[in-house]
Structure 1
Amino acid sequence: MPKHLMRATLAALLATTAIAAQAQDVTLRATANSNENDEDYDGLVVFKNYVEQASNGSIAVELFIGTQLCSNGQECMQGVADGSIDIFVSTSGGTSGIFPFVQVLDLPYVMADDRIAEGVLEAGSDFMTTMQDMVEQTSGGQIKLMTIGNTGGWRNFANTQRRVETPEDLAGLKIRTVVADLPQELTRALGAAPTPIPWPELFTSLQTGVVEGTKNGITDIMGMRFPDAGLQYMTLDGHAYMGALWFMNGERFASLDDLQKRIVVDGFYQLQQATFASPKRKSIEAYQAFQEGGGDLYVPTPEQMELFSQAAEPVYEWFQQNVDGGAEIYEAMTSSVETVEAEIDRQRQAVIE
């Protein structure tokens, strides 16, 4: 063999060996403070299956469902930052202490339906790019926001006292909220009294009258058996999309080779799509069970929805003025909503015509 061919062959062999050496096997530790009936679990199962198969086993994913690795959002996010946890999912309320701007997902009546929300949360949208950049900058690169899925559909008002048709019907009701500021501001704007209560204590709090209502999705309400605690009235105002933020340790992601990074990114896409679909299916049975148990399910008229939207308007100004990064992320959210709505209208008209 000519010497120049021998040198080329040897170089190719060495390059291949180097690539193989870089493609080390890794194990990703993923956790969700939920249970196996939750959308987060559905998403993780899809993620694990995709990533392990697509990587031919070079990436293994270990699932820790519940509080095995950490007991609350703050503790879990600290685990992601220091690398003891690779992947963690949280609602905006669970991470607002670290990233206040993620509360934009709780702004009321900004996104009208699933189709709009899913378009806004699509990878590469102005909103997602802005949110990911803000998370990375705020954490100094320690934490990456990989995607945003769904965990329970839409938040609706539910209570133990009466049917709510307009904001006036919420007046004086003690509504359970998380500790985060924005849900409390919204509850006040609509005339109710925000009452922060830990999730595990909510059943007893409803039962004893410590609170008289809550802002949750139907699958969570039925999964926790809240109707047994007296929660019998639900208004489908869909004031907030129940976004699930999926975070990953930045150093761990950076340590993957290019192919592994691509597989993980694609795995989070698969996860996102699974969590988009899961609540739609589960909510059908949950709404039926709520009504069969004597629950009162009310859908506001367009005119009544306008009253809810008008009452909530002060929250937008409060968010932009009082939340770090609020103005920037609000602009990204609303501009993405406009873009998605226009594209949906175009697609709809193409079919109609």
Structure 2
Amino acid sequence: MSLLSKKNVAILLSGLMLTAVVSGCGGDKKDEKKDAKPIVLKLAENQPDDYPTTIGDKEFAKIVSEKTKGRIKIEVYAGGQLGDEKSVIEAIQMGGIDLARVNAQPLSDFSKKLRVLSLPYLFRDEAHLWKTLDGQVGEELLTSLKDSKMIGLAYYDSGARSFYNSKREVKVPDDMKGLKIRVQQSELMMDLVKSLGASPTPMAYGEVYSGLQTGVIDGAENNWPSYFSTSHYEVAKNYTLDYHTRTPEVVIASKTVWDKLSAEDQKILKEAAKASQEVQKKSWKAYENKSIEAVKAKGNKVTEVTDYKAWQDAVKPMLEKHGKDFKELIEKINNIK
């Protein structure tokens, strides 16, 4: 674990004091419960105030407040006020932050099982993804976070990532050959791009627009809202909807704080997080549709993959490498109808 910054140390101390408050609110006497101050939990969110995940966070907070009649309050700190995802995860483990919404990809550094969610072409479609996440497999993956002092509560929608480029329309994997594609600094993503015949180019996210504009890279990959909001659609007009990954967001709690709550309150938080999913997913869909309409209005070439066999065949070798430890999980997911 990396050393915590001064900012995160402050957050940690604040959270430890909160833990003491939560512990103090656990008395059994009726008069103590009646007079107890509300339990206030901080939720870290790195997206802006009007982003779909933040809207989901706020719905979560609203449901918890309603179910506990104000006895438990969740304060949502959007826009990365409590730190980036990595530092937030560390603070959650230490009990310095109570709740957070983070992507499953960075969480997979703390729970190996979660890496299965980032494997390419794992889910047949959106319905298959949510049947998996809302079922036994999804709960198994959330539970795997306990060993890292985190409690997985629910999943939020993060859309699907697809490839876009400035050179040509891409219909089949062979069309990817020779393209320089920006990827995250991830061995899995680099191997994915290589397996499709393109050249992976790790690059900071903020440099992608100029990289596309100047020809340093030919393309990148992301979901619809990111393709639009970053203006990448202006300099990479060919978007191929191959939906190679559908890595979700995860709402998590600190086990340190969680263990101080009563079983009844734990149940309320778990159910409220799950219930907030519907509002978050609707918000994401509206956000996504707005981006689709805006891009198509600009006349960009949008190609939807309908036959995935060639894409799946191309990535089989890298799936053997990255999925060898998850064969049972992959089989379970494949068998979900």
Shorter-chain TM range is 0.7 to 0.9
Alpha-carbon separation, structure 1, partners of 2:106 and 2:216: 22
**Match of residue 291 from structure 1:** 296
Alpha-carbon separation, structure 2, partners of 1:66 and 1:56: 28
Alpha-carbon separation, structure 1, partners of 2:238 and 2:261: 49
Aligned counterpart for 2:38 among listed residues 10, 13, 25? 25
Alpha-carbon separation, structure 2, partners of 1:244 and 1:15: 36
Give runs of aligned pairs for residues 262-301 of structure 1, distance below 5 A.
262-301=267-306
**Match of residue 127 from structure 1:** 137
1:108 alignment partner, SS class: coil
* Residue 318, structure 1, aligned to residue 321, structure 2: yes
Alpha-carbon separation, structure 1, partners of 2:218 and 2:46: 25
Q: CA RMSD in A?
A: 2.2
- Code of the residue aligned with 1:45 in structure 2: it is K
CA shift for structure 1 position 282: 2.4
Alpha-carbon separation, structure 2, partners of 1:17 and 1:207: 66
- Code of the residue aligned with 1:212 in structure 2: it is D
Count of aligned positions: 311
Question: Which shifted more, 217-226 or 201-210?
Answer: 201-210
Aligned counterpart for 1:77 among listed residues 79, 89, 93? 89
Aligned counterpart for 1:90 among listed residues 76, 99, 102? 102
**Match of residue 56 from structure 2:** 43
Query: CA 1:285–1:235 in 2, change beyond 3 Å: closer, same or farther?
Result: same
Aligned counterpart for 1:116 among listed residues 109, 124, 128? 128
**Match of residue 149 from structure 1:** 156
Q: Give the unaligned 5+ runs of structure 2.
A: 1-26
Query: CA 1:136–1:118 in 2, change beyond 3 Å: closer, same or farther?
Result: same
- Structure of higher CA gyration radius: 1
CA shift for structure 1 position 69: 0.9
Give runs of aligned pairs for residues 1-353 of structure 1, distance below 5 A.
17=30, 20=33, 25-71=38-84, 73-122=85-134, 125-137=135-147, 139=148, 142-151=149-158, 153-228=159-234, 230-302=235-307, 305-321=308-324, 326-327=325-326, 330-339=327-336, 341=337
Query: CA 1:103–1:211 in 2, change beyond 3 Å: closer, same or farther?
Result: farther
- Code of the residue aligned with 2:51 in structure 1: it is D
Give the ranges of 4+ consecutive aligned residues of structure 1 lying more than 6 Å apart after TM superposition.
Answer: none
Q: TM-score, normalised by structure 1?
A: 0.81
2:245 alignment partner, SS class: strand
Q: Give the unaligned 5+ runs of structure 1.
A: 1-13, 342-353
Q: Percent identity?
A: 22
Contact 1:51/1:264 (8 A) holds in 2 = yes
CA shift for structure 1 position 22: 10
Contact 2:116/2:323 (8 A) holds in 1 = no
CA shift for structure 1 position 155: 1.0
Contact 2:52/2:287 (8 A) holds in 1 = no
Query: CA 1:28–1:222 in 2, change beyond 3 Å: closer, same or farther?
Result: same
